[in-house]
Amino acid sequence: MQFNKIGYVYIFIAGLFWSLLGFFVTKLTECGFTSFEIIFFRLGIGFSTIAIFAKLKRPELLKIKRNMYIYVVLIAIFVQVIFNISYLKAINNIGTSTAAVLLYTSPLFVALFSRIIYKEKINILKLISLVVCFFGAFITVTEGKLNLQSLNLAGVIFGIIAAVAYSLFPIFSKKALEEMDSLTMIAYSFLIGALIILLKIDVGHMINCINSLKAVVLIGGLGIITGALAYIAYSVGVSKNVELSVAGVIASVELVFAVIVGWTLLGEAYSVVKLIGVLFMVASMVIALKSNKSTSSKKIDKNLSISKII
């Protein structure tokens, strides 16, 4: 259990860092940057941060086995490019707090994919946590009302696409981390993603928008905090024997902080119903943690029983 607890801490920290993404995106958009430019900054600076660290401290991190390229490319395309584009568009359409809630329907997809690919069991507590998670997201997005006319459908669709893409990160990274360091995986996925995004950027416009210390600080914070540090923390957490279906729910701490940031720093609309929805999401995280603890206890009891027989 000690390894799981350490993993929880890393995943919690990753969620905290990710919760600041909406803030940086909103502020950089106000500075005149496009969505593609913001994504490029996040991935490009994220890669540069890891590469500089590796060059100074651990040069071996920049080496990668040929059979690992497929995982890096898949993470770059789905998690770095598709996720970032969809999530930024969701933020611009429905706001930081609602986009964050939609993103955290991802544990549903993580549980589904991990069941299909890694044969992880979904016990009753996990099932309850997923249902509570979905219910909380539904309440926050709709405020309990199925009024499709007032619902920003494009924003919701982008939010769901972001959730699916986001859920693929632990799926791909769990296998990749068996043969490569998390820093290696993240660095190269950032690099490939940045090069793909660069094809859609007007470099002249991007340079013209970097015209103040505020813009430089925001760009640096975006790339280092929500890019390099967040993904490194999550990858390390997953490698500490935390089940993927549980890790996805633990990281939903991002939701709580993202909503707080949206309401306090960005002045987004607040309502009691939305707050109730967020509390349901938090409850789903607690239930997921209990489900993992219960599963681990059963494994320990089983091992003890076997040892007694032997």
**Residue (of 27, 194, 45, 167) closest to 96 by Cα position:** 27
Which pLDDT value is given to residue 85?
A: 92
| pLDDT score recorded for residue 310 | 26
pLDDT value at residue 43: 95
**pLDDT tops 50 at residue 306:** no
CB count within 10 Å of CB 87 equals 27
Contact 164, 213 (CB under 8 A): no
Contacts 24+ apart (CB under 8 A), 58-65: 58/183, 61/181, 61/183, 61/184, 61/187, 62/184, 62/187, 63/184, 64/180, 64/184, 64/188, 65/179, 65/180
Considering just the CA atoms, what is the radius of gyration of the chain in Å?
Answer: 20
Q: Which amino acid is at 271?
A: S
Query: Which one of 125-139, 155-169, 208-222, 290-304 scores highest in mean pLDDT?
Result: 208-222
Whether 294 has a pLDDT exceeding 60, the answer reads no
Q: 86 or 260: which carries more pLDDT confidence?
A: 86
**pLDDT score recorded for residue 291:** 65
CA angle 229, 235, 236 (to 5 degrees): 90
pLDDT number for residue 292? 58
DSSP sequence for 144-167: T---TTTS-HHHHHHHHHHHHHHH
Report, as an integer, the average pLDDT of 215-228. 94
| For residues 274-294, average pLDDT | 74
pLDDT tens profile 24-60:
988 999 999 999 999 999 999 999 998 888 888 778 8
Closest among 41, 51, 30, 13 to 183, alpha carbons compared: 51
Least confident window among 14-23, 126-135, 187-196: 126-135
Quote the CA–CA distance of 8 and 293 in Å, as a whole number. 12
State the DSSP H helix or E strand holding residue 5, giving kind and residue range, or none if neither.
helix 2-18
pLDDT of residue 304: 28
* Position 233 pLDDT exceeds 50: yes
pLDDT score of 61: 80
The pLDDT of 214-234, averaged and rounded, is 91
Residue with tokens 């040069």: 59
